């Protein structure tokens, strides 16, 4: 059973998500928060698997709440960000704060449920159609990090895979482009994350852009 907390300042939104999730046999909504402070409190007290986190909330916004939750518990809960606009610059900040992915609030019910399952299983959710626009747009802001020394530990093929991950391609798409099996790409991604000391694909995307390995607007 996947235990979830919904954090959104709009009661109607929370109710809508709860109705969708309560209809699933493997998902249980164990709490609701109307601001970021409540979200942090519930995450600590209830220890959910996933927190659906709105970005724009009173008292404490979703970015700060995500950062507090992830700093205290690096593994659980996973945070799935909800946003109204696919080019909301705050989404990028949320990814840096430790979110495991993001969804638009107008997402279909089936997509919401599948996203929660993906994130709860320990994977990251980055929609390629959104990532290509959003991350490329905002990763170029001032304050780019120096190239991590760990990048030098990656093989040429691993660097190539990392670049493709950062551009929003799925494992299947990368495998097709490089003409190898999908299992091979999964192995490459696992090794990349281990060598760079990263939690998931989201962090890999951030590192790739901030280090300059992938530049905004690159094909």
d(CA 207, CA 209): 6
Least Cα distance to 51 among 120, 130, 118 occurs for 120
Mean pLDDT by 10 residues, the chain (219 residues): 96 94 94 96 95 92 92 82 69 79 83 88 65 55 66 93 84 91 92 88 80 67
Query: What is the predicted pLDDT for the residue at 129?
Result: 53
Phi, psi of 6 (to 5 degrees): -105, 125
Query: What is the predicted pLDDT for the residue at 209?
Result: 78
Query: What is the predicted pLDDT for the residue at 53?
Result: 94
DSSP structure class, residue 78: E
DSSP structure class, residue 47: -
Q: Could you tell me the strand order of the sheet in which 2-7 lies?
A: 27-33, 2-7, 50-54, 78-83, 101-104
Query: What is the predicted pLDDT for the residue at 217?
Result: 56
Indicate yes or no: pTM above 0.85: no
d(CA 216, CA 93): 16
Query: What is the predicted pLDDT for the residue at 142?
Result: 54
Query: What is the predicted pLDDT for the residue at 76?
Result: 81
Q: Which residues contact 195 (CB under 8 A, 6 or more apart)?
A: 150, 153, 154, 158
Domains belonging to the chain, first-starting first, are: 2-125 (3.40.50.2300), 138-210 (1.10.10.10)
The length of the chain is 219
Query: What is the predicted pLDDT for the residue at 67?
Result: 92
């Amino acid at each position: 059973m996947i235990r979830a907390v919904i954090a959104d300042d709009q009661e109607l939104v929370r109710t809508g998500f709860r109705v969708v999730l309560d209809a699933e046999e493997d998902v249980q909504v164990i709490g609701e928060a109307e601001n970021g402070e409540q979200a942090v409190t519930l995450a600590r007290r209830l220890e959910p698997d996933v927190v659906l986190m709105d970005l724009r909330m009173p008292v404490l916004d979703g970015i700060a709440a995500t950062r507090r939750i992830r700093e205290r518990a690096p593994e659980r809960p996973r945070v799935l960000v909800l946003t109204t606009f696919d080019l909301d610059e705050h989404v990028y900040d949320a990814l840096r704060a430790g979110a495991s992915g993001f969804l638009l609030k107008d997402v279909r019910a089936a997509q919401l449920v599948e996203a929660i399952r993906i994130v709860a299983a320990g994977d990251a959710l980055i929609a390629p159609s959104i990532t290509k626009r959003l991350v490329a747009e905002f990763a170029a802001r001032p304050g780019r990090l120096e190239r991590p020394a760990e990048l030098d530990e990656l093989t040429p093929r691993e660097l190539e895979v990392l670049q493709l991950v950062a551009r929003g391609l799925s494992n299947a798409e990368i495998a097709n482009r490089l003409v190898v099996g999908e299992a091979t790409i999964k192995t490459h991604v696992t090794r990349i994350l281990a060598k760079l000391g990263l939690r998931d694909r989201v962090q890999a995307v951030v590192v790739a852009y901030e280090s300059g390995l992938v530049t905004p607007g690159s094909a």
